[in-house]
Structure 1
């Protein structure tokens, strides 16, 4: 049986998994030199939105609307990732970024979004987690250590995504194939200006 406390712990583990995916994308960005393209940035937004649904389940207890939000975010992310996979699936069109374990990040993102959709649907079938308890934390200080770490990680990564996206793109549309950071003197050109 999936109790509210166990569901909260599972959501915290899911939040850490989403944070790990975002952290690895940052590692590749800064140490691998792969600047994210606009579709990559949208996938990061979708991952962060999935993380927000998980965060709500961790802090306020599991609710169907939180899972619904995660499903919508994962469907959006899967659509964006599918678009990028389809852009590069035709022979001779090349790819974007270096592969990881044989697949590019956008393919891994599609797999991750599909897993989120499947996991959320399965968790929605388990009604007992939605029982109201008096022990739902409702605030950060009342969370267990795992919950605090997971919530802090996604908040830091979401803030970092906002800052680095502005550093890369500036106040204009991001370049389709970015080569430098706008804030460091680069001038990314929108697709229409090329």
Structure 2
């Protein structure tokens, strides 16, 4: 596989992480579905996986970059599995919004497992013996756009989390942006 192909596949992986974060952020902003602490940690898992893909776009394919993506997905999958386990007890019901009839944390577990499989395929087909970044070769336009989108989505989620939680613990069942409301009340 050429370096351009590897970067394009990494950009597509990063775009997938961005799409998931954007859908969750859209539900948050447009439908008022504030994320719980476990949901925020799952978003961090997608951001960590996206960081691995971003490194692959910028510096070319490396097992260490894919390792970061896999570790982010493993942590996110464990958190999603924990949240699923909390809601399988009879009488507890689900938490939060649904998409395609499944709660976000269930879809998140499926997405993390798919992400791990995709990275495994990338590890099998990527030529990781290439020099890091040949002179004159950058991320390309598509890669650069994906990197900028990822940066924007990640920063927006960080600002939103700070507005929701402030410097303390996030509420278990958030109903408002506590830090933002406290700042506006001053």
For normalisation by structure 1, the TM-score amounts to: 0.88
Task: Count the aligned residue pairs.
Answer: 182
Deviation string 1:26-76 (CA, Å, 9 cap, x unpaired) is 100011111000000000011000000000000110101000111111100
Q: Distance in 1 between matches of 2:142 and 2:129?
A: 20
**Residues 5-84 of structure 1: matches in 2 within 5 Å?**
5-84=4-83
Contact 2:95 2:103 in 1 (8 A): yes
Match of 1:115 in 2: 114
- CA shift, 1:129, in A, is 4.8
Match of 1:147 in 2: 143
Contact 1:4 1:130 in 2 (8 A): no
Greater Cα shift, 96-105 or 33-42: 96-105
For normalisation by structure 2, the TM-score amounts to: 0.92
- CA shift, 1:5, in A, is 1.4
Structure 1 residues without counterparts, runs of 5 or longer = 187-194
Q: Distance in 2 between matches of 1:86 and 1:8?
A: 37
Q: Distance in 1 between matches of 2:135 and 2:80?
A: 38
Deviation string 1:140-163 (CA, Å, 9 cap, x unpaired) is xx3322101100011011111111
Q: Distance in 1 between matches of 2:139 and 2:62?
A: 17
Q: 1:51 to 1:156 in 2, by over 3 A?
A: same
Pairing partner for 2:161 from 159, 165, 169: 165
Q: CA RMSD in A?
A: 1.7
